[in-house]
Structure 1
């Protein structure tokens, strides 16, 4: 919209063009001057004047006489200045006069001059033109106007400045009353003065896209005081600056509103996520929704897609914001405003509920509550509607577009909170199911009272064997006797270390029960490894502390608990839950956790008499020892310890050195069958490979090609496989052990003898193959 310079001769303030007059608000500004048109006239050249008093030409030329003459004949002075003095000279007089006048004015006079402006003394600079350059004046005032943060205040100040800089006598400011975007109306014009207006300039203020923001009319009362091009240019500059400043206020207001919204959402979100209870979260969301939109009541309905229903467990009673009724209600997803929003995912802002066909009046009729306005918002998660929040009756009018946008941003966090609460509920239910399942399994995996009594009666009657021998044959005694001998070995290891024998008995029986009936990693293997560790500890003297000895002994007993007869690699490839639970040393972590589970039973806790610190320390060592039985970790441990030994740097007091030695000792005990006499070694390898072949068969059944040593069709490579195993794993392990524990040298010799036998068998197999190929 362009602005025009309307010149009116002897007219009142003209009406606005193309706009009706009703229902407008107007900010009218007082004129800067109250002079009547008669007092503000300008004399025309050539007008006949009557000279009063004595002419100075007829008397002696004196200053006093001239002043008296001019006072008596002001028309003469006006006529002379108008016709003889140029504009530049008049402006110089004006500037000097205004400077002097400004200094001499008292406070009352200044208030009179500036009665319609709050700019003091800057507005007077406009009126008295203290600056020679009006552009400089405009720049200074604009920089001050930037600080204003209210739209109406800014428009009033701009109007005052425009009046002052153009030397106008007053102005009217018109601001649209935009209650409805489709109807923009202005109030009827109303001048603050009754004098006839001789010149009016109308300046429209628009935003950046041309929408009208306000209209400023500035006027002059004096006849022939027309607005010039310079005035138009300055008004045009003001118009541009006004648009920029108003945009600045709009952006500032939006940023402040967004900041407040962000603070609100952050505070509420922190409160919501502090509690994962679904009912608590629903109450917090409803309370926050009411605060955010200034609603009287709020409801939150969750979506049950399986039953195509909306349901709610919490209902806002409205009487007390802290009290919510627990009332589980359900209704079809195709019914009511909430059902429509849940089905379509659309936002509904209903200014009059009773005029909307989707509104269900039954609730109002039952409760007596009158619903007027509704704002219904869907809550999404992963693109699906999981809930609907319905705000009812805004306390101050109707729900606005700002309410929609604010709650739409808040609804994102509501969705996350509800989603997390659902997950939390599922996890909590799963935990309860897990506890029940664990309780059932624990009951069936615990030793029975009959088993306990049987072993207890055998302890005194069972004959003592020489158990501190690495050549002991684990198949020489039955499974029950193994339990008795474990108890005997345990008593020697624990010594006076506050061992509860009843608990220890139940513990060993339960451990036995938790070994599966697989070919190799079974209770017999656990006993064999435990008996070998007992032998090492007894023959090595006091190199290991009591706590270390206890941890090593119990770790050997439990090191393969619940073994399934499969390798860690197989568990990963078959996507076993255990592999998902433990990404490294899968089965070893499971063995340790099973041990802890057994110890958690009060009747099976063999460490109940220890202090908390002692218990934690022993468990830590046990975990390190059980994990060390993973051959994938053996090579790293062996290389570190070998370097220390070769450098003659091993220190028994060094905790890291002792840890490495314990790890190597655990591996040596685990591989003890390789150091036993040939008949035991050969029988052990047979059951080991039977377990390997079972895994290979399962891999073939799933379409995978097993490793050669796990393929029963390649039995002929068994001796060659054992030669490699003993040469590169077993022999280096026992040689390293014997360097630090010389008492284990017999195990080195046993491995060498078995290696020789396997090498002979390997050569025979190779010879047979060559014969068959010929």
Structure 2
């Protein structure tokens, strides 16, 4: 095998500099050592350890026990990488430290003459074991290193090994040239034949050597027919990339008269690593014997050369003389008569952006006058480079067009998937089936399977969706196959479920019907957990010429499947969310059914109220502002409520069924919690009675409020504290109760309104069923605003506006004035207990204090905080003081303004002021007010 490495270079001899002219034919003196007094030849960088010309794109091997090529081919291999760091350090003339290989790896078993082999074989004398290379036992191909910033600064040269000082080169006459290969590295590499003084360059005869014509006699500059045809075809060419490269090699062999040729392109795998993949190779008839290990060794050498050219973008033009001058290369044994490696020319294939797409290589020029192979000239290199420039343009256009087509298909799939997600689907199986049917014809796969992962399990599935596609001429038919988990192969799906990584398997099974497979995890975008696995199997639609190597899923298919997995994840999450919503909705329906049962009064009670004789308003004292339900029985309270609706003529005005009214009143009564000291049914009845009294006593209110507004006010007052829990909004918010999460602000008031709606819609209690749709839509917002107005925080925000309205007067034509007035009437009715006769007011004040102190005790116990003064049991002796402050700060301004607007409401202000005097008297005496006066 040719040695392409110099272990240690010394300063060149003066005679070397003097004989650098190619016309000099004096042979060098092998035993002469360079003089220490001689100066430097030039300021070019000197490579101290150039290493083999094997790129990271291919992995040459090193045999550890034998020396001969024929034996080394059959031996085990130690894979060797020349990485990007080594390339840069060689460029600077430095040595890369060795990394010992922990083990050797056995390469795949192939025919020695197989030109598609990517791994070469070396004997243990190979410089690959020198400290200038990184040795790895990894079986994977390394990633393509970034080419040097200035490729011209790295020009590999054939350098002399110090172990064999007699090594020299021959000129065209067969004698040895005085130019030593140990000379400093020139800008034009010897092996690349860029320099006209290269010792490996024989005299070139300017003659016509092919159909392109290259300056020989009679050449008239005819255009190259192949280039014209290739450029004319553009992106509309129907042949594949392999066929295009094959045509390029056929033309190159014809033009350059080469015995064999090869073209490899750089491809990027799923992991992002780049590697050279041979796409076309030609061998002249009867030029190579089958199963020749020597030929195989040569192929490994040229593959390494192609890898170097592909990684650096630098052409290489070298001759077989180099090999014959290396004592480790035995011509009699490593060369055979049928094939002698005489010359190698390798050029890069680049696109218009000067990015390397691949490398083209030709071997052994065949058209010398004496019948023996000659060398490739500089003109040959220019011709091949010119052809590869045009090939690179076409390949780049093909890649761009293919990328555009793939992106268009991908966009089409994503738009279709997004449309499917926006539609309503009856089941998860139906949605996933439609999504699988979308990707099958684009990916040209036979099967698409989506495995649903079992919750809280890392190695099992709960179900699957299996779709099958079939090519029928120009159409692609899709079928849904009903199958169970036991009928499909779960091997790769389980692996992906565990590893959470995409798998692209070229041959999932040796059985041809199984073919290729790509499998991708489907993740929950929020938690990152694997919720399913999607799998494409058996690539279809592959051309016959690509059946052996092309029936696999490419990186476009992998990317499409990964995008598909994202949408599948969204679909699964959407379906699971809908299922949870349906579950909670069903649970809510059950809860409402139970609540409806408990809120609905027994038929006996309904019938009793329906058949009872309702007392008059005068006998029930519901027209008086001093009304109290203390002396009323339970039945009398419900009868008093019915009387209010009768006297306001609401039953007749809104076609309310009397039985429905009775059931509704009883349901509202049952909606209040009996274990709450103050905010119970009695408080609701008292609030409704105060509103009723104001409406009946004030003609201005009855005349200016619409009948719908009166109905809304009566319903709101009776329901304004439904299901009150005996705590305030601040406590509900501090304890993060569900009510606070549902409503945020005014949590209790919103809940009261929802309970009111629930009872109004409860079968048998639908007192609004007689309203027109328009009236129904209008009355509900009125009821809601009225109930929300009982939140004292809202009252404090709006009362200044109401006081101004009291000074300027109400404009009944303005809805805002009417709405504000309804809100203030609701607050006046809600706190009317402060206006009741003294014995009633003092009793109610103690009930309120009991409820507030209980809440303060909870806050102290649960949060270890000091409650507010009005809820602090330690302030129980200061109740009279707190009542006075309550009257002065909140109640008096409201009733004073209301009395100023409507004189009929002045009894409320009078009762308030009497109670203030009594509370002030108790405060001055220091009495809790526990005794009756």
Is TM-score (shorter-chain normalized) higher than 0.5? yes
TM-score by length of 2: 0.60
CA RMSD of aligned residues (A): 4.5
Of residues 316, 319, 323 in structure 1, which corresponds to 2:467? Answer: 316
Q: Equivalences for 1:396-475 in 2 at 5 Å?
A: 396=542, 397-460=551-614, 464-475=619-630
Cα distance, 1:245 vs. partner? 8.4
Q: Does 1:741 align with 2:902?
A: yes
Any idea what the Cα deviations from partners look like across 1:618-638, whole Å, max 9, x if unmatched?
111111100000001001221
Q: Equivalences for 1:159-308 in 2 at 5 Å?
A: 176=263, 183-184=277-278, 186-188=280-282, 204-206=348-350, 210=356, 212-214=358-360, 250=399, 253-254=402-403, 257-275=406-424, 277-306=427-456, 308=459
Any idea what the Cα deviations from partners look like across 1:405-458, whole Å, max 9, x if unmatched?
221122122112212211211111111111112112211211110111121232
Of residues 496, 521, 529 in structure 1, which corresponds to 2:679? Answer: 521
Cα distance, 1:465 vs. partner? 2.5
Query: When you count helix as a share of all residues, which structure comes out higher?
Result: 1
Residues in 1 aligned to 2:379 and 2:504: alpha-carbon distance in whole angstroms:
51
Q: Which residue of 2 aligns with 1:512?
A: 669
Of residues 687, 690, 697 in structure 1, which corresponds to 2:847? Answer: 687
Question: CA 1:525 to 1:322, structure 2 compared with 1: closer, same or farther past 3 Å?
Answer: farther
Cα distance, 1:324 vs. partner? 3.0
Cα distance, 1:400 vs. partner? 2.4
Residues in 1 aligned to 2:598 and 2:397: alpha-carbon distance in whole angstroms:
76
Question: CA 1:30 to 1:738, structure 2 compared with 1: closer, same or farther past 3 Å?
Answer: farther
Cα distance, 1:602 vs. partner? 3.3
Contact 1:312 1:327 in 2 (8 A): no
Is there any run of 5+ residues in structure 1 with no aligned partner, and where? 14-28, 42-93, 99-111, 124-143, 161-167, 192-199, 357-368, 769-774
Contact 1:561 1:595 in 2 (8 A): yes
Counting matched residue pairs gives 629
Contact 1:548 1:621 in 2 (8 A): yes
Q: Which residue of 2 aligns with 1:387?
A: 532
Secondary structure of 1:414's counterpart equals helix
Of residues 581, 587, 605 in structure 1, which corresponds to 2:748? Answer: 587
Secondary structure of 1:603's counterpart equals coil
Residues in 1 aligned to 2:519 and 2:429: alpha-carbon distance in whole angstroms:
20
Question: CA 1:704 to 1:247, structure 2 compared with 1: closer, same or farther past 3 Å?
Answer: farther
Q: Equivalences for 1:337-736 in 2 at 5 Å?
A: 337-355=492-510, 370-381=513-524, 382-395=527-540, 396=542, 397-460=551-614, 464-493=619-648, 494=650, 496-497=652-653, 498-517=655-674, 518-541=676-699, 542-646=703-807, 648=808, 650-705=810-865, 706-736=867-897
Contact 2:837 2:911 in 1 (8 A): yes
Of residues 7, 30, 40 in structure 1, which corresponds to 2:218? Answer: 40
Cα distance, 1:385 vs. partner? 1.1
Question: CA 1:370 to 1:187, structure 2 compared with 1: closer, same or farther past 3 Å?
Answer: closer
Question: CA 1:626 to 1:203, structure 2 compared with 1: closer, same or farther past 3 Å?
Answer: same
Residues in 2 aligned to 1:734 and 1:461: alpha-carbon distance in whole angstroms:
30
Residues in 2 aligned to 1:354 and 1:154: alpha-carbon distance in whole angstroms:
27
Q: Equivalences for 1:2-17 in 2 at 5 Å?
A: 8-9=204-205
Residues in 1 aligned to 2:565 and 2:383: alpha-carbon distance in whole angstroms:
49
Residues in 1 aligned to 2:439 and 2:846: alpha-carbon distance in whole angstroms:
72
Residues in 2 aligned to 1:598 and 1:233: alpha-carbon distance in whole angstroms:
94
Cα distance, 1:251 vs. partner? 5.4
Question: CA 1:623 to 1:175, structure 2 compared with 1: closer, same or farther past 3 Å?
Answer: farther
Cα distance, 1:294 vs. partner? 1.6
Residues in 2 aligned to 1:114 and 1:754: alpha-carbon distance in whole angstroms:
115
The more displaced of 398-407 and 240-249 is 240-249
Secondary structure of 1:652's counterpart equals coil
Q: Equivalences for 1:50-61 in 2 at 5 Å?
A: none
Residues in 2 aligned to 1:441 and 1:471: alpha-carbon distance in whole angstroms:
35
Any idea what the Cα deviations from partners look like across 1:303-325, whole Å, max 9, x if unmatched?
11445521215443668966535
Cα distance, 1:203 vs. partner? 5.5
Contact 2:856 2:872 in 1 (8 A): yes
Secondary structure of 2:768's counterpart equals coil
Q: Which residue of 2 aligns with 1:16?
A: none
TM-score by length of 1: 0.71
Contact 1:204 1:216 in 2 (8 A): no
Contact 2:523 2:566 in 1 (8 A): yes
Secondary structure of 1:187's counterpart equals strand
Question: CA 1:756 to 1:462, structure 2 compared with 1: closer, same or farther past 3 Å?
Answer: closer
Question: CA 1:630 to 1:238, structure 2 compared with 1: closer, same or farther past 3 Å?
Answer: farther
Is there any run of 5+ residues in structure 2 with no aligned partner, and where? 1-150, 156-191, 195-200, 248-253, 268-274, 286-343, 370-374, 471-475, 543-550
Secondary structure of 2:606's counterpart equals helix
